[in-house]
Amino acid sequence: MQTLTIIKPDAVAGGKAGKVLAHLEAAGFVVRAARMTRLSRAQAEAFYEVHKGRPFFDSLCTFMTSGPCIPMVLERADAVAHLRKAIGATDPAQAEPGTIRKLFAESKERNAIHASDSEDNAKREIGFFFAESELKGNWA
């Protein structure tokens, strides 16, 4: 099963991208696709459209466009649930010890990593960043 993650701009700018990826690989995820990109405002607003109208929407989009991020397709058994567990709660102050957000997040907004929260959203979010052809590489 596949899911989508994004190493967010705070983690990339803070030089933590490699550590986050090492943590993901140690948790049994295989990287099936990856790229570094800087989201446009329109892309950030479309990606987070479910949060449109929330008080933090504008600030979230400003943060997500503030620098490069690294979207990746990750694969392992039960990928969506395992990744949500590996990243920890949205607010690092609430996250379990050993989770990526507990280890690397700066704040509830600048929280190092995104992970799809359902299988349906994983499909949508993978399609948001990657073409079908990019998901069928030499590894298949």
Residues forming the active site: 114
28 with 130: CB under 8 angstroms?
no
Q: How far is the CB of 45 from ligand GDP (least distance, A)?
A: 13
Q: How far is the CB of 70 from ligand GDP (least distance, A)?
A: 15
Interface of this chain with ligand GDP, residues 83 to 122, rule: CB under 6 A: 90, 108-109, 111, 114, 117
Task: Count Cα neighbours of 137 within 13 Å in the Cβ-side half-sphere.
Answer: 10
Q: How far is the CB of 43 from ligand GDP (least distance, A)?
A: 15
Beta-bridge mates of residue 74: 3, 31
For CA atoms 111, 112, 114, 115, the dihedral sign is: negative
- Whichever of 56 and 128 has its CB closer to ligand GDP, that residue is 56
Site string for ligand GDP, 27-66 (x = CB under 6 A): -----------------------------x--xx------
Task: Report d(CA 86, CA 50) in Å as an integer.
Answer: 23
- Residue 32's nearest CA partner among 81, 76, 82 is 76
Name the residues that contact ligand GDP, by CB under 6 A. 56, 59-60, 90, 108-109, 111, 114, 117
